[in-house]
Structures are given as C-alpha cells and as structure tokens.
A and B are shown apart, each in its own frame.
Chain A
Amino acid sequence: MTLIRCLGERYRLAEFDTEAVLFDTVSGDTHYLAPAAFARLNGLSLDEILRTVDPGAGPRLIEEIDRQLSDWGLGA
C-alpha cells in the first residue's frame, strides 16, 4: 500500500522508501523527489541530510533543492 499524503490543497505526495513523487493537482505536473529533496521537504537540516541521506550532497545542492521547493510553494 502506497502512502499518499496531501500537502495542502494543491499537492499530493506518494512516498517510496527514501524517495517520493509529487503531483501538482493544479498544473497536472508530476515531479520526482530524490532522497535529499524528500528529506529536505520533511524538514531535515543540511547536517542531517549530509549525515543520513546523501553524504555527497553539498550546500549548493541544498540551496537548489530549497529553491525548487520554494518555487512549488513547499519551502522547508
């Protein structure tokens, strides 16, 4: 059974282990969330992500993730 969460009225999130797929009910777009982005969406800090999710991820990657989530109105 896939866990599908509502993120506000606009987004639906299907979770698959450390990754997720985001569906935008307004545009109909579907987005892949890699482990680092999914962890950021769940509120993990940079240190936590570097430690637990993606040891190779740097601050620049986190900045890009934050920018993308912010564009979707889903800032961590």
Chain B
Amino acid sequence: MQTGPFSVRVESSIASVAEGLAQLYADFELAETAFSDFHVSVKSAVGIRRWIAPQVNFYVDGFRPFKPLPMDQAYPMLEWGLNWCVSSQAHHLLIIHAAVVEKNGFAAILPAPPGSGKSTLCAGLVLSGWRLLSDELTLIDPASGRLLPLARPVSLKNQSISVIRAFSGQAFLNRPSHDTAKGTVTHLRPPADSVQRQRETARPGWVVFPKWQAGAAAELAPRSRAQTLIYLAQNAFNYSELGEKGFAAGAEMIGQCDCYDFTYHDLADAVRIFDRLADEKAAGT
C-alpha cells in the first residue's frame, strides 16, 4: 500500500494485524507496482515459548530490528516498526519527531516530549477539520522546504483514549493493546480526506510546543525561533546524517514559522485557538 511518499508491502498471518489493517487502512490506495520501499512482516515467534506466552517479531527486509513482544502487541508493533523504517532509512528528507497537521495550506508542527499531550491534540485537531500529515514524523523536503504527508493512524495512549472517545463520536479507535512499554495503546483511523490528499505537500506555518496542564487556560506564548531550531535539531532523527543540508532545511523552515509554547487543558478550547491561528494566517496571505 501507499503511505505518503512510501510504498509498503506488509505480510502477516496474525489475525489482529489483519484486523487492524482492515480497520485503519481501508481508505489507503494499493501501490500499483511490484516495487516497495519497505518489505515488512509481523510473524509469530517460534520456539517452546509460543505454547506458554506467544510472542511476535517485526521484520524489515528479513532483518529483525527489535526484540519480540507479546502477541497482544502485534498491531502496535507493526506501526512502531513502520515508524522505525521511515526514521532510520529516509535520509533524503529531514525527519523531526513531531506531529504535523494542516489547515488553509499552512502546517502546524507539534514537537514535544512524551506525555505532553501532543498526540491527543493532534487527534483533536484532525477530528475537527485539520488535515493529518503525521502524528509522529515531520518529513521536510530539503529541496523544496515543503512538508510531506505520512497520514497513518494516530497512536493514542492511556488517558488520551477516553479523552478522544469523549471528544468526538466520529473517532474510530481499534482494539487496545494493554501492558505495552507505553501503557495501553490504540490507534485512531486517519480521516479519509487526509488519506486521499496524501500526495499534497504543505507549507510550514507554525511550530507549537503543546503542554497539557490540568486546569490551564488554552494559551499561546511566543518563543524564540533560534532556540526552536536548536530543539528541532536535537529532536530530529537524522539531522547529523544530513549535515549542512539538514541545518539549512531546518533554518529555512523556522524562518517561515511563528513559534509558540502552548498550554491547554480542554481540547475544544485548544482547537479554537488553532482555528484562530489558521484563520489569521489565511487572512494575511
């Protein structure tokens, strides 16, 4: 299948993987050529352990980059493995650990450490009319400065799951996997519109560092562009591999963006603030 700029061939005989793909990737187009960027598979681990506590392995081109995980985590392992494929191999792009969503032609990049509410905010925005580019990997084309979509399912953890269920009746979440390294994990199906537009690049508009804080009013505070560039360089997967090209791509991108710290508690309030940003940007162009 085609996911953003990459074609992926997935092989598995595990029922939960087939179920997850059918539920979450139904809107994706099948790649028309035999060539695939990544050949991946999720397979049951062999050995005596499979009779006691079954496990699964993730393979890419026959290589196994991770230790096996419990069978219940087969589907999230596929998603984590696909992220690993892109972040460790697509060095023609600058790849930053950040969610990215778009409205009115401008993209908001949401970098943040785990637990900051990044994925929850990303999910809330895409369920409110923003286009999903990615919940995890911001792909910057150094040649054009544009952001490439990779609109795969949005990973949600622990309390975020109930927050998103309560936020939107349109949200489809697949079966949760429990007791993973990240707690309970499920995935949100990306909106069909985001999938259909997965070849449509976006112009960087904002870099916003979200932070969920109990009881906080939704509030944007401007932050330094130079310090934002330093943060992104430190949180890029392949900044050092790209050298001067990565620095130039990051600097050019930051030059186009308004940079903010953002605290929020209520997801609906957060969406209103982002909608206002998008409206102001559209009015200014």
Task: Tell me the A residues contacting B by CB distance below 8 Å.
Answer: 1-2, 4, 12, 14, 16-17, 19-21, 23, 25, 28, 30, 32-33
Asked whether A1 and B226 contact (CB < 8 A) given A25-B243, A28-B240, A30-B247, the answer is: no
The residues in B between 224 and 241 inclusive whose CB is less than 8 angstroms from any CB of A are: 224-227, 229-230, 233, 239-240
Are B240 and A14 within 8 A (Cβ)? Answer: no
Are A21 and B248 within 8 A (Cβ)? Answer: no
Give 8 closest A-B pairs by Cβ, nearest first.
Answer: A2-B255, A14-B251, A19-B226, A16-B225, A23-B247, A16-B226, A2-B251, A32-B230
Give chain B's interface residue range (CB within 8 Å of chain A).
10 to 19
Closest to B231 in A: A32
| Shortest distance from the beta carbon of A20 to any chain B beta carbon, whole Å | 6
Task: Tell me the B residues contacting A by CB distance below 8 Å.
Answer: 224-227, 229-230, 233, 239-240, 243-244, 247-248, 251-252, 254-256
Are B226 and A4 within 8 A (Cβ)? Answer: no
Are A12 and B248 within 8 A (Cβ)? Answer: yes
* Chain A residues in 8 Å Cβ range of B227: 19, 32
* Chain B residues in 8 Å Cβ range of A30: 229-230, 233, 239, 247
25 contacts between A and B (CB under 8 A): A1-B255, A2-B252, A4-B248, A4-B251, A12-B248, A14-B247, A14-B251, A14-B255, A16-B255, A17-B225, A19-B225, A19-B226, A20-B226, A21-B226, A21-B229, A21-B251, A23-B244, A25-B243, A28-B240, A28-B243, A30-B229, A30-B230, A30-B233, A32-B227, A33-B226
